[in-house]
Amino acid sequence: MKNLENYGVQEMNIKETTNIQGGYGLSGWFWPAAAATFIYNCVADWEENVAAFKRGSEDGAAAVS
């Protein structure tokens, strides 16, 4: 940083860094919320998911035989 000070370059504050990196808008909470929703739905419908997987395994085994 010492070399850049000779050219008038200053370090950015946290607000400037946040604005340049996209802030905490849609992208800041969208993907964690999407992942949490996906995980919740998998856990909430666990029995149905297991039953569907077993049906798929049985159908696939029958198709191969």
Tens digit of pLDDT for each residue in 33-61? 899 999 999 899 999 988 988 888 777 66
Range of the domain at 65: 24-65
Confidence of residue 8 (pLDDT cuts 50, 70, 90): confident
- Of the pLDDT bands very low, low, confident and very high (cuts 50, 70, 90), residue 2 is low
- Residue 11 belongs to some domain of the structure: no
- Whether 46 is covered by a domain: the verdict is yes
The reply to whether 62 falls in a domain is: yes
Q: What percent of the chain has pLDDT over 90?
A: 18
For residue 39, give the DSSP letter: H
Distance between CA atoms of residues 19 and 23, nearest Å: 5
Look at residue 38 in the predicted model and tell me its pLDDT.
94
Packed helices 26-44 and 46-64: angle between N→C axes, nearest 10 degrees: 70
Within a domain: residue 34? yes
Number of compact structural domains in the chain: 1
Does residue 63 lie in a domain region?
Answer: yes
pLDDT at residue 36 in the model: 95
Q: Is residue 45 part of a domain?
A: yes
b or e along 6-19 (b: 16 or more beta carbons within 10 Å of the residue's beta carbon)?
Answer: eeeeeeeeeeeeee
In a domain, 30, yes or no: yes
